[in-house]
Chains A and B, each alone.
Chain A
C-alpha cells in the first residue's frame, strides 16, 4: 500500500506538467481507465510488484497495455516513470490522487449526496446551487439512493457531512433521551 503522501507527490508533479499543456483532462481520463484495468485484473499489480520478474518483461507488459489502451504520450511516459520507480503497482492510488489534484486546481469539489429516494430535478438544482454557494467552488455531485435512510438528505464534502436525514434527527433525539 502506497502512502497518500507519495501518491499526492506524483499527482502534483504530473499536474505541474499537464496543466500548462492542457492535457490534464485527457491524462486523468486515461489514468482512470488504466486504474480500472488494474482494479479488474489484480494480477497486473502483482506482476509489477514482483521483484523476481525482470524489468524488461515488465516493460513489455506495460507497452502492451499502453498500446491496447491507446493512451497519449504524456500518460505513457508517466507510466514508464512509475515502472522505473517501482510504483506502477500503485497506479490506482496515484490516479485517484491525480484526479483530486486536477479537481483542486480547477476549483471543483466532489460532493456525495445520499437520499432515501431519488431527488427531483428541482431539488437537485436547488441543492447544487446551495452547495456551490456554501463551498464557493464548482460542485460535482454524486447522488446515491440509500434505502437504509428513512427520509431526508445527507451531503458529504471531503471530511464534512451535512446531515438532514430523519435518521440524524432520531439519533439526536435518542442521545437527548439517554442523557
Chain B
C-alpha cells in the first residue's frame, strides 16, 4: 500500500513539478499517518485504556495500602498507648505485691524473731536455774560434808544415848 501511495503521489506530483519537492512525501506521510491512525487507533486506545485502568487500579491499591498502613499505624499507636497503661498497671500491681510481700516477710521475721527471743529467754532461764541449782547443790553438799565431819568429831556418848532414847520415844508414839 505504501508503494501504491508512493506511485499515486509520484503520478500526481510529477507533472506539477512537485515531485522534486517534499510535498508527495508529506502527503504520503499524512496518508501513512492516517492509515496508521485508522489501523492503530483501536489497539492504542485499548492499550491506553487498559493502562489507565491499571494505573487507576494501582493507585487504588496504593490508596488501600496507605489506608491499611494508616490503620495499622493507628492500631499500633493505640496498642502502644495501651501498652503504657498495661505497663503502668503491671508496675502498680508489682509494687502492691512487693509491698504486700514486704509486709508479710516483715511480719514473719518479727514472729520468728519473737520466737527466737522467747527460746533464748527460756534457755537463759533454764541455764540460770541449772547454774543456781548446781551452785546450791555444791554449797549444800559442802555444808553436809562439813556437818558430818563435825558431828563425827564432836558427838559424845551422851549424844548417842539421847539419839537412841529419842528414837525409842518416837517409836512409842507410832500408832499400832
Contact = CB atoms under 8 A, between A and B. Distances in A.
B170 A177 contact: no
Interface in A90-142: 115-117, 119-120, 123, 126-127, 130-131, 133-136
A31 B168 CA distance: 35
B151 A130 contact: no
Main secondary structure of the interface of B (DSSP, over half): helix
A119 to B, nearest CB: 7
Interface residues of A, number: 28
Interface string B140-176: 1101100110011001000111011111101110101
A170 B148 contact: yes
A77 B174 CA distance: 45
A150 interface: yes
B50 interface: no
Contacts of B133: 178
B1 to A, nearest CB: 150
Contact of B172 (A130, A155, A178): A130
Contact of B136 (A152, A166, A177): A177
A151 B157 CA distance: 10
Interface of B: 133, 136-137, 140-141, 143-144, 147-148, 151-152, 155, 159-161, 163-168, 170-172, 174, 176
5 contacts: A134-B174, A152-B160, A162-B170, A178-B133, A178-B140
